[in-house]
Amino acid sequence: MKATSHVPASQKPRLANHSDTAATTGHDGHSQPTDHASAPAQSEARSEASEALRAERQRYVPRGVFTYHPVFPASGSGATITDTDGNTYLDFAGGIGTMNVGHSHPAVIAATQAQLELYCHTCAHVLMPPLYIELARRLTEITPGDFAKKTLLVNSGAEAVENAIKIARAATGRTAVIAFENSFHGRTNLALALTGKARPYRANFGPFAPDVHLVPYADPYHYGADGGPWRATLERFFSTRVAADQVAAMIVEPVQGEGGFIVPPADFLPTLRAICSQHGIVLIIDEVQTGFGRTGRMFAVEHSGVEPDLLLAAKSLAAGLPLAAVVGRAELMDAPLPGGLGGTYGGNPVACAAALAVIEVFEREGLVERAQRLGALALERMRDWQERFALIGDVRGLGAMAAMELVRDREQRAPAAAEAAALLAEARQRGLILIKAGLYDNVIRLLMPLVTTDEEMARGLEIIEASLAAVSAMSPAELEAAH
Ligand SMILES: Cc1ncc(COP(=O)(O)O)c(C=O)c1O
């Protein structure tokens, strides 16, 4: 492959060879202070073939399918991804929190290959794969709640969301649903009705499913330590809009993911639990992004002691194979009529094999504990940067769900969206894949695989630090050009 720029690809630095960019790592994994120049931006190798792929992507894939980085993956291993041009990146996006066990985990490969060689699919409505049943049981065992549970398997987070609402409506005979502003629950019509971000998710797609009502989430950075007026607004909603005993379900993320890693105050989830219990409302905890160890517990809701009626898992459940689950109280799960739940692919045995392998890997490799350590390393370093870079308005997170909100002005908290976009580009040029979040696209979020080593973590953080320094020094024109 021929490189398009002046330097042939073969002579360009491969981004993975970070001997020149690595932080000096202490035995505890904390990097020692280094000069910013230690992680310089490098030009990524680009071939004519990948330029052609970029053009074909423009031509054949709709613009609505947004992609953060113009990089095409060729292979992945653990916390790294190598692209079709041979550049290797540290991947701190992990398929937006899908690859918690890391890319190409040998146990997942072995389990899926073994199942593929036996058979690929029968459709659970025709012949139910034993692995469906085994996974259903395992999920009832590892989710919070000491009561009889059942599990429905589907293909995506949005589908789990849709089915949870169906189940709650069937079980309660009520229709109203409460969700939260700044939430994200997926891109299907009902999931969009529940999603609290107007652009780009909801724009141009209405009308949405009726009888869905959004109320404020608790947000300490933007509305004060108690999270703002969420409690009073909810009480007012019950008095003015829909009486509490008419509400079928309340769906909530224990930490808002796409919304910018908003960690609510400790009383938020217990209060919602109490309100739901008092009025017979089904409490649905959406753990699609927070689940599978990300926050330093298997499920984020465990931090609060709250037991959900229905819990939703997807993303890291099957290490990248399309699989999602609704796990919940047996009597609720049995409310829909036979045939009312399911779908052609739900609980595909290859995906179930992957999920069972993932659960084993979590136990064997202690990935929940690992999330605590990775999160601590990231948050400590981010807090240090906050003292040095005016750009960082807030640092927050739970376990390895760590983020920093970039602002132009700490007083007004004016979002620094262009800076966040430039930071992503700068980091990628230094060999690190990052993504953003937040209502104003100004939150840098970390979703690194939980198998990321201390050395990789230190290197990734070093790259972010160097990128922060580079972006902080940019003029408005440079910022515009940088992404
Ligand atoms: C909390 C949450 N719920 C639901 C979804 C939708 O999942 P999917 O994209 O698999 O439909 C997402 C996706 O990011 C999510 O973060």
Q: Please state the domain extents for the chain.
A: 9-104+368-481, 106-365
Is 286 in contact with 256 (CB distance < 8 Å)?
Answer: no
CA of 185 to the centre of ligand 1 (A): 5
Question: How confident is the model at residue 40, as a pLDDT?
Answer: 77
Mean pLDDT by runs of 10 across the 483 residues of the chain is 34 45 36 50 87 97 97 98 98 98 98 98 98 98 98 98 98 98 98 97 97 98 98 98 98 98 98 98 99 98 98 98 98 98 98 98 98 98 98 98 97 97 97 98 98 98 98 93 79
Looking from the CA of residue 156, the nearest atom of ligand 1 is: 10
Q: Give the pLDDT score at 15.
A: 66
Tokens standing for residue 211: 């009888």
Nearest CA to ligand 1 atom 8: 157
The contacts of residue 223 (CB under 8 Å, 6+ apart) are: 216, 229
What's the CATH class of domain 106-365? alpha beta
Q: What is the pLDDT of residue 319?
A: 98
Distance in Å, CA 77 to ligand 1 centroid: 24
Strand partners, 392: 406
Peptide bond into 476 cis (omega under 30): no
> Which atom of ligand 1 is nearest the CA belonging to 289?
16
Burial class (CB in 10 A: 0-12, 13-18, 19+), 309: buried
CB within 8 A of 239, min separation 6: which ones? Answer: none
CA 366 to chain centre: 20
Is 446 within 8 Å of 385 (Cβ atoms)?
A: no
pLDDT at 480: 85
The number of C-alpha atoms within 13 Å of 131 and in the hemisphere containing its C-beta is 25
Question: Could you tell me if 139 and 325 are in contact, meaning their C-beta atoms sit under 8 angstroms apart?
Answer: yes
CB atoms under 10 Å from CB of 108, counted, come to 25
- What pLDDT score does 99 carry? 98
- Rounded to the nearest whole angstrom, what is the distance from the C-alpha of residue 55 to the centroid of ligand 1? 29
| DSSP string computed for 154-218 | ESSHHHHHHHHHHHHHHHHS--EEEEETT----SSHHHHHT---IIIIITT--PPPSSEEEEPPP
pLDDT of residue 89: 98
Atom of ligand 1 nearest to the CA of 158: 11
Residue among 382, 379, 440 nearest 413 (CA):
440
- Ligand 1 pocket mutation, candidates 159, 185, 251, criterion most atoms within 8 A of CB: 185
Residue labelled with tokens 């605590």: 372
Please give the Cα distance from 86 to 71 (Å, whole number): 11
Centre of ligand 1 to C-alpha 35, Å, is 39
Question: What is the full DSSP assignment across 124-158?
Answer: TTTS--HHHHHHHHHHHHHSS-SS-EEEEEESSHH
CATH of domain 9-104+368-481: 3.90.1150.10
Alpha carbon of 156 to ligand 1 centroid (Å)? 7
- How far apart, in whole angstroms, are the C-alpha atoms of residue 346 and residue 242? 34
Q: CA 12 to CA 8: how far, in whole Å?
A: 7
User: Tell me, what amino acid is at 55?
Assistant: A
Distance 193 CA to ligand 1 centre (A): 14
Distance from Cα 114 to the centre of ligand 1, integer Å: 29
| E runs forming strands in 220-333 | 247-252, 282-286, 310-313, 324-329
Alpha carbon distances (Å) from 27 to 31, 133, 457, 458: 9, 44, 13, 11
Q: Which atom of ligand 1 is nearest to the CA of 315?
A: 10
- Residue 106 CB: number of other CB atoms within 10 A? 11
| Cis-peptide, bond into residue 106, ω within 30° of zero | no
Nearest CA to ligand 1 atom 7: 157
* Ligand 1 neighbours (beta carbon < 6 A): 96, 156-158, 161, 184-186, 253, 257-258, 286, 288-289, 314
Angle at 191 between CA 200 and CA 96, to 5 degrees: 65
Atom of ligand 1 nearest to the CA of 312: 3
Rg of the chain over Cα atoms, rounded to whole angstroms, equals 23
Adjacent-strand bridge partners of 76: 81
Q: Identify which of 294, 205, 310 has the alpha carbon closest to the alpha carbon of residue 195.
A: 205
Can you spell out the DSSP letters for 341-390? S--SSTT-HHHHHHHHHHHHHHHHHTHHHHHHHHHHHHHHHHHHHHHH-T
Tokens of 91: 């991947």
The pLDDT of residue 16: 57
